[in-house]
C-alpha cells in the first residue's frame, strides 16, 4: 500500500472580501522530503500554513495530512505534526528547559530524557538553564524548533524560520534544518529568500499574490534561471561597453549606481573580463548582483500592482 502524502492540498482557496489570499493552490509533500513554499511578504504563504494547522478554514479545496482531513479527524489530523507559525513565543522569566517542560505537560507529557535530546539537537544544551528573556532572537527560534521536536513529529512545519536573523543565525538555522532533514524528518518551510531554501529543499512552490507561480524541483528551477549579473567598474567604461560586443555578454550603463552591469553565462563573463585586462582597461570591481535563482525568483513574483500588505492580511485573518 502506498504511503500517504505528508501534505496533500488540493485546490485550496481562501478569500477575505474581494481579496483572494490563497487562490486555488495545490501542494503535495512526500514523506521524507524537504519542501519549500516561497514568495514575497503578503504572497499567501502564512495563510496556507494557518489552514494546514486548522487555525483558519479554507473556503474551498481539501487539505490532507498523512491522509487525514480536519473535517474527518478534527485535531487528530495533526497527529505527528509540529511546528510554528510566525515567531515562537515563550515565558521570558522561565528558563529554556522550564518552558519546554511546561509545553510538554500541555501536550500530554514526553518521554524521559526527550527534553535534553531536543535541546542538544538545536545546540542549546549549554543555555538550557538560562532565562529565555536573555536569549538572542536566533536562540528563541531554535528553542521554537526544540519545542516542536518534543512530540517526535513526522512532519515539521516552519514559517520563515530564518526571518529576522543575522547572517550567523541564518547559517545556524540552515544547518539545523539540514541535520533534521538528514534524519528522515519531513520538513515544510516557508521563506521569502531563495538562498535560504536552495541548498536544502527537494521541491518548491513559489507563490505570487496568492497563486502558484512555479511548482517543481530545485533542478528544474535552476534550468529556468537567467544568466547571472555582475556590477562592473573599470577605468574606461566606454571602451568596456564597445569590447563587450564580441564576447557574448550584455553590458549596460547603470545610471542609478554608476559603473556597468554585465549579464551573461559565467564562462562568457570570465572571458570578457580577461579581454578587458588584455586590452589595458583597468578592472576596479566585479561584484555579483544576484544569483540566477534570485533573479528568477524576482521575475516570477515581482508585481506591485494591487499587492496586499502583510499587516492588512493579518487583520483580515484575525477578523475572519
Tens digits of per-residue pLDDT, 245-276? 888 888 888 766 678 888 888 788 889 889 99
Same domain, 72 and 173: yes
Same domain, 62 and 158: yes
Phi, psi for residue 92 in degrees, rounded to 5: -70, -25
Which grid coordinates belong to 255?
545610471
pLDDT for 2: 63
Q: Is residue 40 part of a domain?
A: yes
Q: Is residue 41 part of a domain?
A: yes
DSSP H stretches of helix in 10-155 = 45-52, 70-73, 96-106, 114-121, 137-149
pLDDT for 311: 44
Q: Is residue 100 part of a domain?
A: no
DSSP H stretches of helix in the chain = 45-52, 70-73, 96-106, 114-121, 137-149, 167-182, 194-198, 218-224, 237-243, 266-278, 292-301, 310-319
pTM, two decimals, is 0.77
Same domain, 219 and 235: no
Q: Is residue 250 part of a domain?
A: yes
pLDDT for 133: 96
pLDDT for 196: 73
Per the structure, the complete domain to which residue 67 belongs is given by 7-80+153-223+297-319
pLDDT for 292: 64
pLDDT for 320: 47
Low-confidence ranges of the chain (pLDDT < 50): 1, 304-317, 319-320
CA–CA gap between residue 260 and residue 135 (Å, rounded): 44
pLDDT for 73: 87
Same domain, 270 and 302: no
**Long-range contact set of residues 174-183: C-beta below 8 Å, sequence gap at least 24:** 174/199, 174/200, 176/121, 176/122, 176/123, 176/142, 176/145, 177/34, 179/121, 180/121, 180/145, 180/149, 180/156, 181/34
Same domain, 276 and 307: no
pLDDT for 310: 42
Q: Is residue 20 part of a domain?
A: yes
Q: What is the mean pLDDT of the chain?
A: 85
Q: Is residue 95 part of a domain?
A: no
Same domain, 159 and 286: no
Amino acid at each position: 500500500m502506498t504511503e500517504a502524502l505528508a501534505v496533500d492540498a488540493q485546490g485550496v482557496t481562501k478569500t477575505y472580501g474581494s481579496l483572494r489570499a490563497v487562490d486555488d493552490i495545490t501542494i503535495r509533500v512526500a514523506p521524507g522530503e524537504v519542501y519549500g513554499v516561497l514568495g514575497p511578504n503578503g504572497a499567501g504563504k502564512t495563510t496556507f500554513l494557518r489552514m494546514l494547522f486548522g487555525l483558519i478554514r479554507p473556503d474551498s479545496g481539501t487539505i490532507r495530512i498523512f491522509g487525514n482531513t480536519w473535517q474527518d479527524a478534527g485535531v487528530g489530523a495533526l497527529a505527528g505534526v509540529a511546528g510554528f507559525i510566525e515567531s515562537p513565543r515563550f515565558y521570558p522569566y522561565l528558563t529554556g528547559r522550564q518552558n519546554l517542560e511546561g509545553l510538554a505537560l500541555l501536550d500530554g507529557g514526553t518521554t524521559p530524557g526527550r527534553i535534553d535530546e531536543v535541546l542538544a539537537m538545536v545546540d542549546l544544551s549549554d543555555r538550557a538553564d538560562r532565562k529565555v528573556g536573555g536569549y538572542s532572537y536566533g536562540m528563541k527560534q531554535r528553542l521554537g524548533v526544540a519545542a516542536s521536536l518534543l512530540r517526535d513529529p513526522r512532519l515539521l512545519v516552519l514559517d520563515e524560520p530564518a526571518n529576522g536573523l543575522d547572517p550567523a543565525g541564518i547559517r545556524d538555522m540552515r544547518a539545523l534544518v539540514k541535520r533534521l532533514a538528514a534524519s528522515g524528518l519531513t520538513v515544510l518551510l516557508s521563506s521569502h529568500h531563495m538562498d535560504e531554501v536552495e541548498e536544502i529543499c527537494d521541491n518548491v512552490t513559489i507563490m505570487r499574490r496568492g497563486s502558484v507561480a512555479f511548482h517543481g524541483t530545485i533542478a528544474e528551477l535552476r534550468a529556468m534561471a537567467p544568466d547571472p549579473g555582475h556590477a562592473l567598474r573599470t577605468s574606461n567604461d566606454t571602451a568596456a561597453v564597445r569590447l563587450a560586443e564580441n564576447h557574448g555578454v550584455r553590458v549596460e550603463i547603470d545610471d542609478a549606481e554608476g559603473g556597468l552591469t554585465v549579464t551573461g553565462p559565467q564562462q562568457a563573463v570570465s572571458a570578457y573580463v580577461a579581454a578587458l585586462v588584455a586590452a589595458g582597461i583597468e578592472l576596479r570591481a566585479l561584484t555579483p548582483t544576484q544569483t540566477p535563482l534570485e533573479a528568477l525568483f524576482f521575475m516570477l513574483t515581482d508585481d506591485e500592482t494591487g499587492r496586499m500588505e502583510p499587516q492588512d492580511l493579518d487583520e483580515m485573518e484575525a477578523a475572519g
